[in-house]
């Protein structure tokens, strides 16, 4: 028997926060709407959470300083973030998706993967099913979603973004190359500005350029990351769609450009990894009962230490405290370090944080405030370090950062 065709859908709501605001106040429809910090007549210091497509025509975008958004379009409607309301809509969307399949992996408040390999035939097949999902979302929430349908998660994710808003892009098995290869390299998961610069220095600008480069060359220049990118460029991505209960661990690792004995550098890198882990925990509405730290020495010996904090941890600094304590217990025998990794395990639901697509408990006020605070922090980090620092979806390991993985 032939193996079942894999049909993965990635759904991403259009201009989500702004679209909800327009929904609640129809008078705003079509106007430039900016959701985020108070612009204070151009002196505001926060950032844009998101904006409507009408506002995007002025060059306004997520994570941009709100003062700049104001400068670009002072007559836009500026609105504060109402996290509780967006979570409510997000739950509604999740319920709609559950009518189609139980295999749903929520990625963020307005984004999810669905594995409909088994369900598609019940809803008229893979061309009809996404149309029905879009229609149902539209009818029941009044909002538009963009969908990508493809044989794997990476392709579905790229596809959902190609025809926004209200898009539907289907990638067939036999058109992976024609679909993927002309795209710029930064469409590949895990390619941020730094990797993009390395690839550019190798003369590689399109995904096809990467695919045509010998694996060896990719590995020589970018190590494990290079191997991973090469596979992605060929359209290979076997990761399953995971229901929230199936996410057993969230981890990130980093291979140093050069083996290092610099304790400060190692600690800084671990902090950076903890931030990435914390960000993904937050997106998934999870906390960890255990944290493990891994080092690989210059002779390729690999050591791991785990610990269980008294309380489940979710924030970067809590994870870092545990990761650092683990690190101190790892004997390096004076050798240099080649790779470090941090993994959060024994995951459980984080009751305090609303994450929308996951969250079934309606928000009480303090949870909502926390949620909003978190949103703001994320946006601030993005504003400071560039959207790539906490890029949604594309560079987050949940979706396949080169060194990220969700172990099962
Ligand atoms: P996105 O799906 O990235 O953006 P979007 O839905 O607003 O627009 P698009 O049509 O391009 O998908 O993010 C979902 C929501 O998450 C967004 O509406 C607001 C919030 N968000 C932030 O608060 N800060 C950010 O930097 C980003 C990217 C999103
Ligand atoms: Mg969206």
pLDDT at 385 (0 to 100): 55
The pLDDT-based confidence of 219 (bands split at 50, 70, 90) is very high
Who's near 83: CB < 8 A, 6+ residues apart?
A: 354, 363, 368, 371, 372, 375
The pair of structure tokens assigned to 290 is 């255990």
- What is the average pLDDT across 160-188? 95
Q: Select from 140, 113, 115, 183 the least CA-distant residue to 23.
A: 140
Q: Are both 201 and 285 inside the same structural domain? A: no
Provide the pLDDT for residue 387. Answer: 43
Q: How far is the CA of 371 from the centre of ligand 2 (A)?
A: 17
**At 221, which CATH number?**
1.10.150.20
Verify that 228 and 321 share a domain, yes or no: no
pLDDT at res. 397 = 31
What is the 8-class DSSP label of residue 39? -
**pLDDT > 70 fraction of the chain, expressed in percent and rounded:** 85
82 & 191 share domain? no
Helix (H, G, I), strand (E, B) or coil at 363: coil
pLDDT for residue 245 is more than 70: no
Q: Is 14 in the pocket of ligand 1 (CB under 6 A)?
A: yes
Q: Whose CA is nearest to atom 3 of ligand 1?
A: 392
Residue 85: give its domain's CATH number: 3.30.70.270
Same domain, 47 and 140: yes
Q: Choose one of 150, 173, 196: the last residue of a domain.
A: 173
The answer to the question of residue 241 being in a domain is no
**For residue 281, what pLDDT is reported?**
87
Among the candidates 173, 192, 209, a domain finishes at: 173
16 lines ligand 1 (CB under 6 A): yes
**Which residues fall inside 5 Å of ion ligand 2, going by CB?**
12-13, 16, 110
Which residue, judged by its Cα, is nearest atom 28 of ligand 1?
62
- Does 76 sit in the ligand 1 pocket, CB within 6 Å? no
98: number of Cβ within 10 Å? 11
pLDDT at residue 172 in the model: 94
CA 183 from centroid of its chain's CA atoms: 19
Long-range contacts of 317-320 (CB under 8 A, 24+ apart): 317/274, 319/274, 319/277, 319/278, 319/288, 319/291, 319/344, 320/270, 320/271, 320/274
pLDDT of residue 286: 85
Assign 243 a pLDDT band (cuts: 50, 70, 90).
confident
pLDDT (average), residues 155-164: 96
CATH number at residue 387: 3.30.1490.100
What's the pLDDT score for residue 347? 86
Counting ligands in written order, the one closest to the CA of 376 is 1
243, part of any domain: no
Shortest-distance atom of ligand 1 to CA 110: 14
Catalytic annotation present for 318: no
Residue 24 lies in a domain: yes
| Terminal C-alpha separation, the chain | 27
Lowest-pLDDT range of 41-45, 82-86, 177-181, 384-388: 384-388
Note whether residue 242 is domain-resident: no
Which ligand lies nearest to the CA atom of residue 19 in the structure?
1
Q: Is the dihedral of CA 242, 243, 246, 249 positive or negative?
A: positive
Q: What pLDDT, on a 0 to 100 scale, did the predictor assign at position 248? A: 80
Q: Which ligand is nearest to the CA of 51?
A: 1
- Let me know whether 223 and 80 are in one domain: no
Compare 80 and 194 and report the one with higher pLDDT: 80
State whether 268 and 140 are in the same domain: no
Closest CA to 187 of 235, 255, 242, 119: 235
Nearest to 86 by CA among 15, 139, 29, 148: 15
Q: 3, 187, 263: which is closest to 204 by C-alpha?
A: 187
Q: How far is the centre of ligand 2, averaged over its atoms, from the C-alpha of 143 (Å)?
A: 11
Test site for ligand 1: of 21, 47, 53, 62, most ligand atoms within 8 A of the Cβ:
62
136 and 24 in a common domain: yes
Q: What's the structural domain count of the chain?
A: 3
pLDDT in tens, 288-322: 999 999 999 999 899 999 999 988 999 999 999 99
- Is 63 found in the same domain as 36? yes
What is the span of the domain harbouring residue 347?
249-407
User: Does ligand 1 come within 6 angstroms of the Cβ of 110?
Assistant: yes
Closest CA to 343 of 229, 254, 242: 254
Which pLDDT value is given to residue 357?
A: 52
Q: Indicate whether 253 and 372 sit together in one domain.
A: yes
169 part of a folded domain: yes
Grouping H, G, I as helix, E, B as strand and the rest as coil, residue 274 is helix
Given the residues 21, 105, 111, 375, select the one marked as catalytic.
111
Looking from the CA of residue 14, the nearest atom of ligand 1 is 10
Domain boundary among the residues 141, 173, 205 is at: 173
Buried b (16+ CB within 10 A) or exposed e, 117-129: bebbeebeebeeb
Q: Do 402 and 253 fall into the same domain?
A: yes
Distance 20 CA to ligand 1 centre (A): 12
Ligand 1, atom 7, residue with closest C-alpha:
15
Average pLDDT in the chain: 86
In angstroms, what is the span from residue 18 Cα to ligand 1's centroid? Answer: 9
Asked, for residue 203, whether it belongs to a domain, the answer is yes
**244 assigned to some structural domain:** no
The whole-number pLDDT of residue 408 equals 30
pLDDT digits (tens, 9 = 90+) for 109-134: 899 999 999 999 899 999 999 999 99
Q: Is the CB of 87 under 6 A from ligand 1?
A: no
Q: How much is the pLDDT for 376?
A: 53
**Are 93 and 59 contained in the same domain?**
yes
Instruction: Dump the DSSP string for 294-334.
Output: EEEETT--EEEEEE--SS-B-SHHHHHHHHHHHHHTS--TT
Residues 165 and 193 in one domain: no
The answer to whether residue 213 sits within a structural domain is yes
pLDDT per residue as tens digits for the range 255-291: 999 999 999 999 999 999 999 999 888 877 789 999 9
What was the pLDDT predicted at 396? 30
pLDDT at residue number 242: 87
Q: Report pLDDT digits (tens) over 341-381.
A: 999 998 887 765 444 454 433 334 444 455 446 555 655 55
């Amino acid at each position: 028997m032939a193996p079942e065709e894999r049909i993965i859908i990635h759904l991403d709501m259009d201009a989500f926060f702004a679209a909800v605001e327009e929904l609640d106040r129809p008078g705003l429809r079509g106007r430039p709407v900016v959701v985020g910090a108070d612009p204070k007549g151009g002196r505001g210091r926060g950032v844009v959470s998101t904006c409507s497509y009408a506002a995007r025509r002025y060059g306004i975008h997520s994570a941009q300083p709100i003062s700049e958004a104001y400068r670009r379009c002072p007559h836009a409607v500026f609105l504060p973030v109402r996290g509780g309301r967006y979570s409510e809509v997000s739950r509604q969307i999740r319920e709609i998706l559950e009518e189609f399949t139980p295999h749903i992996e929520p990625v963020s408040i307005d984004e999810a993967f669905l594995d409909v390999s088994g369900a598609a035939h019940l809803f008229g097949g893979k061309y009809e099913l996404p149309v029905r999902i879009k229609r149902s979302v539209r009818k029941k929430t009044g909002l538009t979603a963009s969908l990508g349908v493809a044989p794997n998660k990476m392709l579905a994710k790229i596809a959902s973004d190609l025809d926004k808003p209200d898009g539907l892009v289907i990638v067939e098995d036999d058109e992976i190359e024609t679909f993927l290869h002309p795209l710029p390299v930064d469409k590949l998961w895990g390619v941020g500005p730094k990797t993009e610069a390395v690839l550019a220095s190798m003369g590689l600008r399109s995904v096809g350029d990467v695919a045509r480069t010998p694996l060896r060359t990719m590995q020589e220049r970018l190590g494990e990351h290079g191997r991973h990118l090469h596979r992605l460029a060929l359209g290979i991505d076997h990761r399953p769609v995971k229901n929230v209960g199936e996410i057993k661990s969230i981890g990130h690792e980093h291979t140093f450009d050069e083996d290092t004995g610099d304790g400060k550098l190692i600690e800084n890198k671990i902090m950076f990894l903890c931030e990435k882990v914390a960000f993904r925990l937050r997106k998934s509405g999870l906390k960890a009962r255990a944290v493990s730290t891994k080092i690989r020495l210059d002779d390729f010996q690999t050591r791991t230490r785990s610990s269980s904090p008294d309380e489940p941890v979710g924030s970067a600094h809590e994870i870092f405290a545990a990761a650092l304590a683990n690190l101190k217990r790892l004997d390096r025998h004076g050798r240099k370090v080649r790779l470090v990794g941090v993994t959060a395990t024994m995951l459980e639901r984080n009751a305090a944080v609303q994450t929308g697509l996951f969250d079934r408990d309606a928000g009480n006020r303090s949870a909502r405030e926390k949620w909003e605070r978190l949103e703001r922090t994320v946006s601030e980090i993005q504003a400071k370090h560039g959207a790539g620092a906490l890029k949604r979806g594309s560079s987050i390991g949940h979706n396949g950062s080169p060194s990220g993985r969700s172990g099962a």
